[in-house]
Amino acid sequence: MIGPKVSLAIFHTVRSLANNLAKKAEESKEAIQKNNAHKSVNTQLIYQEGHDLPFDDAPIQFTAEQIGGDFK
């Protein structure tokens, strides 16, 4: 069983990755701020500063069956 501290760490790691991908995709600061539910862009920038994790691109493709969705 995963405890609350581990779950929180995983959540913030995934959130940081999402922020990095949005930034690389040239999403606006306002869009990233809204996706993170922060009250202001300044708050978002404080959380985002210094959290550029060294993620590597991985060429992985999942099928609709693996994901469990219908993508028609």
Q: What tens digit of pLDDT does each residue of 7-50 get?
A: 666 787 788 888 888 888 999 989 988 888 888 988 888 777 77
In a domain, 27, yes or no: yes
| Number of domains the chain contains | 1
Q: Domain for residue 57, yes or no? A: no
**For residue 66, is it within any domain?**
no
| Residue 43 domain-assigned (yes or no) | yes
Sign for the pseudo-dihedral over CA of 45, 14, 37, 25: positive
Listed in sequence order, the residues at least 6 apart from 10 whose beta carbon sits closer than 8 Å to its beta carbon are: 2
Within a domain: residue 42? yes
Q: What is the pLDDT of residue 27?
A: 93
Task: Find the domain containing 19 and state its range.
Answer: 1-48
Residue 25's Cβ-side half-sphere holds a number of Cα atoms within 13 Å equal to 9
The reply to whether 69 falls in a domain is no
In the 8-state DSSP scheme, what is residue 36? Answer: T
